[in-house]
Amino acid sequence: MYAIEFQTKIKNGIIEIPVRYWRRLQQQADQESVRVIVLAREQSGLETDRDEVDLIGQWLTAPLDIPNFTPLTREEAHERV
């Protein structure tokens, strides 16, 4: 695995890969997926996903009781489609 780092702007939810990297990635495009990590500067005054975090915390402390629920096996959870 190798890493590529560049700065760009997100336009309409799309991150454009510079041509100099796209050519290298294009060879893999149909064969395998890539891992994308987005780093953004924190800006004060912006709303956070605090409500989402609180909801997840609630689910962890009081999980739902679903009748006849069968959790995925390790193999099923890691199965690739």
Of 66, 62, 46, nearest to 54 (Cα)?
A: 62
Question: What percentage of residues in the chain have a pLDDT greater than 70?
Answer: 83
Q: Does 54 have pLDDT greater than 60?
A: yes
Q: What integer is the mean pLDDT of 39-62?
A: 70
Q: In the beta sheet, which residues pair with residue 11?
A: 14
Position 44 scores a pLDDT of 63
Position 70 scores a pLDDT of 92
Position 67 scores a pLDDT of 92
Position 51 scores a pLDDT of 54
Contact call for residues 51 and 59 (beta carbons, < 8 A): no
Interacting residues of 4 by C-beta distance below 8 A, sequence separation 6+: 21, 24, 25
Q: Is this model's pTM higher than 0.75 or not?
A: no
